[in-house]
Amino acid sequence: MNIKWNANKYTEDFSFVHQYGNSVAELIDAAKGSSVLDLGCGNGALTKVLRDKGYLVKGMDESKEFLVIAKEKYPDIDFIQGDAADFTLSEPVDVVFSNAVFHWINKDKQRDMLKCVYKALNKDGRFVFEFGGHGNNKKIHSALARVFSEHGYCYRMPFYFPRIGEYAAMMENAGFEVQYAVLFDRPTELKGEDGLKDWINMFVKTPFSIVKTEQEKEMIADKAVEILRDDLFINGKWYADYVRIRMKAVRV
């Protein structure tokens, strides 16, 4: 990923990310006392939810900024730094859980990530996750691509949003038996009158790296927000047009 996060602002203004993850965690059907790895744990909020459900948890994230917050907020939980596409555990776990992470991993690294998860699980271990699926934030990215083009830049999609059949096949090829899979729309309310611009500034970092000046970056973001106002500003609130893949699988 190689992104430097504003972890404090993320924790304050984008808490919906882990809040939606609560329902993903409900798919875990392992017994209390089972060992769980929260892969891409971020600020640790969902790791705590898993711990409170009675699991023996540890969190892993690549971001030092997030891990500082996680360790400060939940000092009794084990948090480690690691790359989701290149990690090993000292002992396998019963469950690998992940929320809102895998779309950040390049398509050509997805198989590496699935191999790492497979090795990290005990036989018959559970793999439960959710991330952005085909069509996720399509309106937002289309508006940004239009404005980038008007400014003479090529907008390069920074995320991997697969179709459900594509990802299910990739899972099966990695040795998993997919037991549950769904792709669904989830319009998501954003915080504050600048909610959409704040969302763009937080999550769409890589494409803006080619823009020459900070002033031009502001102009592009502002123009995209205005293009999206009719579709995504509803009853005085901003929404992001999320589409999610949610899956449960078993290591066989």
Say how far apart CA 48 and CA 54 lie, in whole Å: 10
Contacts of 129 (CB under 8 A, 6+ apart): 24, 39, 96, 97, 98, 99, 101, 102, 246, 247
Region 189-217: mean pLDDT is 95
Strand partners, 37: 58, 96
Q: What percent of the chain has pLDDT over 70?
A: 92
- Cα 152 from chain centroid? 30
* Averaged pLDDT for residues 19-29: 85
- The whole model's pTM is what? 0.92
Structural domains in the chain, CATH included, are 7-135+159-190+243-251 (3.40.50.150)
Query: pLDDT-derived band of residue 200, with 50, 70 and 90 as boundaries?
Result: very high
| Predicted local confidence at residue 168, as pLDDT | 97
- Average pLDDT of the chain? 93
Whether residue 8 is predicted with pLDDT greater than 90 in this model: the reply is no
Phi, psi for 115 (deg, rounded to 5)? -65, -40
In this model, does residue 223 exceed pLDDT 90? yes
Instruction: Tell me how far apart the alpha carbons of residues 57 and 67 are, in angstroms, rounded to a whole number.
Output: 15
Residue 16 has pLDDT above 80, yes or no: no
**Element (DSSP H or E) covering residue 19:** helix 16-25
What pLDDT was estimated at residue 22?
84
The residue among 62, 130, 58 whose CA lies nearest residue 90 is 58
